[in-house]
Structure 1
Amino acid sequence: MSEFATLGLSSPLLRAAEALGFDAPTPIQAAAIPAVLTGRDVLGSAATGSGKTVAFAFPVLQRMDAAGRPALRRTHVLVLVPTRELAVQVGETFREIGRHLDDPIKLSVLYGGVSINPQMMALRGGADVVVATPGRLLDIVAQNALKLGEVDCLVLDEADRLLDAGFAEELDRVLALLPKKRQNLLFSATFPDAVQALTAQLLRDPIRVELAHEPSSQARIEEHAVEVDAAKRTPLLRHMIERGEWSRVLVFVATRYACDHVADKLRRAGLEAAAFHGDASQGARMRTLQDFKAGRIRVLIATDLGARGIDIAQLPVVVNYDLPRAAADYTHRIGRTARAGADGIAVSFISADTEAHFRLIENRQGRRVPRERIEGFEPKNASADSLADAPSAADPTNGGLDPNGGIKGKRPSKKDKLRAAAALKAPANGSR
C-alpha cells in the first residue's frame, strides 16, 4: 500500500499518486497534506525542490472534489505564483493530478509575455482552478473574463518571490477581489520581514508546517567555494564543466548582459550554452527551457529573476558565477540541485572583492564553506579573509574540486588575520 494512503487522500488521488510514480511523500507533503485537508489556513516552509506543489495540489483538489462542482464552472481554487515558468509547471502538476478525478478539473493558467486573447477564450465556460501571475490575473479580471467572488481556497506559492518581484501592490488588489471566507495556504522557502507581515495579515490561526532547514536536504548538496580572479571565471567554468563531465549546469549571473556574454563565450568554446532572461519572448524562453531539460543545451546562464520557477528534477550542478545579493537568494539558487532525493553540487566563485560578501552569506546560512583553488586558476590577489591553506584541487571526476572541501588543519585565527593585515599596512623599516 502506498504511504500516501496514510495521509487521508481519496481513492482517485491515490490512483493519481501511483500513476505519477509517487512512492512515498516527502516530509513537507507528509506534514502539509493532512493539515490542508482540515480546511484550516496553513503556513508551509520548506526548501526549494522539496515537493511543495504536490503538498498543496493533492489536498486542495480533494476538498474541491468533495464539495461538488456545477456544470457552469466557478473558480474555487486560485494559485498565485511569481513567474511564467512556475505558472506553467504548477499548472502541469494540477492537470496531471486532476485528470484522475471522477470529474476531471477544468484548469486555466494565466501569465504575461504572451497574447491575452487565447487565455480569455480558454476561460469561457469558467474554470475550477486558476494558476496565475498577479499582473496577468488582474488584466483578465479587468476584461470581465474571470470572476473571483467564489474562490474557496487561495494558495500563495513561493510567497517570498512574489514579494521580491514587486507584486505587493498587485497582491493587495487581488485580495480585495476575493471573498473573506476562504482557506489560505502560504508556502515559502524563506521568511523575510515582508513575508512575515503578509503572513500576519493573511492567515488566521494557521497550522504551521516548517521544514525549511532539513539537515537531510542540506546534506545532499555538496557546496564548494572556489577562489578565482573575476577575469578568469569563464575559462574556469569551461574547465570545470569539461573536466567534471557535468551533463547539465545552471549558472547564475548578476545581469542580463552577463547572461548573453557568458553564454556567447561558452558557445565559442564549443559548449552548448544559452542565456535565459526576461528580454527574450515567452516562446523563446519556453523553447530554451525545454531544450535544457531535454539535454540539447548543456549550460543555462540565468539571472535570479530569469531562473524563478525553473524546476528540473535532474540538475546535478549549480554555479554561482556572480554571488547573489542576499543570503535568501543563495538558498534558492543552490536548492535548484539535489531535488527528488538526488545528490547535487553547488559551486560559488569567490574573488578578493567578493570574499567579504560571501562571509556574510555564510553567517546568515549558519555554516562555513571551505575555500578551494583549482590548479592553473589560482587567484593573483587573495583577500585578507581568504583561507591561505586552500588546496590546489584537480580531481577530474569532480570538475577539479576537492571532494573533501579543502585541507583540514590549523587555520589562522581572527587575531592572526588582523595582525597580518596591520603588518601589510605598516611602513617598512619604521620609515615615515
Structure 2
Amino acid sequence: MHFTELALNKPILKAIFEKNYDSPTEVQKQAIPLVLDKKDLIASAQTGTGKTAAFALPILQLLFHQQDATKKNKRIRALIVSPTRELAVQIEAEFKAYGKYTNLKTAVVFGGTSIEPQKDILKKGVDILIATPGRLLDLRKQEFINLDKVEILVLDEADLMLDMGFIDDVLKIDRMCPEDKQTLLFSATMPIKVIQLAKSILTDPERIEISPTAAAAGGVLQLLYYVPKPSKIELCLHLLRNEIKGNILVFRRTKNGVDKLEQTLIKNDFKVDSLHGDKSQSARQSALNKFKNGEVNILIATDVASRGIDIEDLDAVINFDLPNIPETYIHRIGRTGRAGKSGTSYSLCAADEKKYVKEIQKLLQKPIKVVEDHLFPLDPEAKPPIHKKKKTGSKHKSGRKSAASKKNKKRWY
C-alpha cells in the first residue's frame, strides 16, 4: 500500500514524502481509515511501529478544513495527552513535521518548566495541543485552557499513564471535553486496567492489535549472555571496550542502578549520560541532546524515563537488567534496527532472571541466541540466590541468660 491510497490531502502527503516515507506501517494502514471515519479506537501497538503518525496524519486531515480560523476563533480542537514530557515533545515534533504545509497551530505543555511561556503560546491560539496530565490540569484551573471545543481526544501510552498514577487525571480531562468527541486510545500493552479505562470512556470502539513480535524489528540481532550477577559490570565493560560500538542505549530496572552504572562507566573513561524519573526536566533534556548531538555515545535509562523517546541511528541496546514484563523487552530492542537499518541487542541474564527469559522467548515464539563463549559464564546449574532473613536479637539460646546478665539482675524479692 502507498500513502496516496489513504485519502490524505496533498499538503500532508507532501510532508510525508519529504520524510522519505512511501508505505504506511501496519498500525497506520489500519488506524488512519478508522480515524478518518470518526470512529473511536483502541489500538495496541509498541513504540517503533509508527503509531504517532497513525493518529497525527488523520487528525491533521480532519482539522484541515478549519485551519484558517482567525486567532480569536482558534480553539483547541485536538488534544493529545501523553504521560511523559519527552514523549509530549516528540509528538509535537511529528505534528509540526506532518503539518508543515498546513496553517494548523500545534503546541506542547508539560510540567517541570516555567508555566509563563506556555501561557503566552496558548494566548496566540492553538488548534492541536499536546500535554502531560498535571500541567494540563494546572492551566485549566487557571483558566488558560478551554476544552469545550475538543473534537478529538488521544490518550497515548495509556498503560504507562496508568502505571504512573494518572488514572484520576485522565478521567477528569475526559469529563472536561465534550461528550460527542472522538476518542483514540493507544497503548503498548493491554492490561486489564487499560481495558477498563477504554470501556468507561470510549463509545463502540474499533480495536486494532499489532502483534508485539511484529515490533521486534527483523533487523535486530538478539544476543543473550548468561552471567553471574556480580560479574555483570565486568562483562558490560568488556563488551563496550571490545565489541559494542556506536550509539548505545543501556537499560536498568531502577534509578539507583542507573546512577551506579553511570559512575562506573565515567570512571572507565566512557562518554555517558543518564535518564531517570528523579532528574529534572532540564537535566533529562540535556542528557538527550548530548546523546543526539554525539557529545556522549552511551545513554543509561530506566524504562519509564525512556518511553516514547525517538532516537535515530541507535546501533545497540544493552539490557543490563532483564525486564520482568516480556512486552517491555520488545519495546526496548525495538529502539534499534529501525527503518530498515540493522542493530543488535545484548541481554545480560543472571540466575534469578532466567524465568524472565522464558517468558520473553514465549512471546517472541523463538529462542534468543545464547553467546556461550565469553569471559564470565554462568554455571549452568546455578540457581537463583536464596535470601535468608537475618536473625536478630540475642546470640544466646532461647530461655538462656548470660552469666553477666544473671549477675546484674536485681531481684525484687
Contact 2:160 2:304 in 1 (8 A): no
**Aligned AA (2:260):** H
**Aligned AA (2:241):** E
Where does residue 408 of structure 2 map in the other structure?
none
How far apart in 2 are the matches of 1:354 and 1:324?
9
**Aligned AA (1:93):** E
**Offset of 1:145 from its aligned partner?**
0.6
How far apart in 1 are the matches of 2:100 and 2:162?
32
Contact 1:84 1:309 in 2 (8 A): no
How far apart in 2 are the matches of 1:360 and 1:172?
33
**Offset of 1:151 from its aligned partner?**
0.3
Where does residue 229 of structure 1 map in the other structure?
228
Contact 2:212 2:330 in 1 (8 A): no
Where does residue 118 of structure 2 map in the other structure?
119
Q: Which runs of 5+ in 1 are unaligned?
A: 386-432
How far apart in 2 are the matches of 1:141 and 1:203?
23
Larger Rg: 2
**Offset of 1:137 from its aligned partner?**
0.7
Task: Check if 1:82 corresponds to 2:83.
Answer: yes
How far apart in 2 are the matches of 1:97 and 1:289?
23
How far apart in 1 are the matches of 2:211 and 2:80?
21
How far apart in 2 are the matches of 1:345 and 1:187?
27
Contact 2:273 2:300 in 1 (8 A): yes
**Offset of 1:87 from its aligned partner?**
0.4
Partner SS, residue 353 of structure 1? helix
Contact 1:42 1:207 in 2 (8 A): yes
**Aligned AA (2:21):** F
Change in 2 beyond 3 A, CA 1:100/1:91: same
Contact 2:224 2:347 in 1 (8 A): yes
Where does residue 95 of structure 1 map in the other structure?
96
Where does residue 335 of structure 2 map in the other structure?
336
Change in 2 beyond 3 A, CA 1:372/1:53: same
Q: Deviations over 1:89-121 (max 9, x none)?
A: 1001111222211xx222220111111121112
**Aligned AA (1:97):** Y
Normalised to the residue count of structure 1, the TM-score between the two structures is 0.83
How far apart in 1 are the matches of 2:381 and 2:217?
29
**Offset of 1:217 from its aligned partner?**
4.4
Aligned length: 382
Where does residue 308 of structure 1 map in the other structure?
307
Contact 1:50 1:339 in 2 (8 A): no
**Offset of 1:216 from its aligned partner?**
7.5
Task: Check if 1:369 corresponds to 2:368.
Answer: yes
Give identity over the alignment, percent: 37
Contact 2:213 2:364 in 1 (8 A): no
Partner SS, residue 92 of structure 1? helix
Change in 2 beyond 3 A, CA 1:370/1:247: closer
Where does residue 130 of structure 1 map in the other structure?
129
How far apart in 2 are the matches of 1:86 and 1:151?
21
Where does residue 261 of structure 2 map in the other structure?
262
Q: Deviations over 1:129-167 (max 9, x none)?
A: 100111111111111110111100011111111111211
Contact 1:353 1:383 in 2 (8 A): no
Q: Deviations over 1:156-195 (max 9, x none)?
A: 1111111112111111111111100011111122111111
Change in 2 beyond 3 A, CA 1:194/1:34: same
How far apart in 1 are the matches of 2:17 and 2:330?
31
How far apart in 2 are the matches of 1:216 and 1:138?
34
Greater mean alpha carbon deviation, residues 144-153 or residues 245-254: 245-254
Q: How does 1:194-213 map to 2 (within 5 A)?
A: 194-213=193-212
Change in 2 beyond 3 A, CA 1:182/1:310: same
Where does residue 391 of structure 2 map in the other structure?
none
**Offset of 1:298 from its aligned partner?**
1.2
Q: Deviations over 1:208-265 (max 9, x none)?
A: 3322335484433322221111122122112212322420111111221211211111
Where does residue 405 of structure 1 map in the other structure?
none
**Offset of 1:67 from its aligned partner?**
4.2
How far apart in 1 are the matches of 2:242 and 2:266?
17
Task: Check if 1:19 corresponds to 2:18.
Answer: yes
Q: How does 1:5-154 map to 2 (within 5 A)?
A: 5-68=4-67, 70-71=69-70, 72=72, 73-101=74-102, 104-154=103-153
Q: Deviations over 1:242-289 (max 9, x none)?
A: 322420111111221211211111122121111211222212211210
Where does residue 396 of structure 2 map in the other structure?
none
Q: Which runs of 5+ in 2 are unaligned?
A: 385-413
Contact 1:351 1:382 in 2 (8 A): no
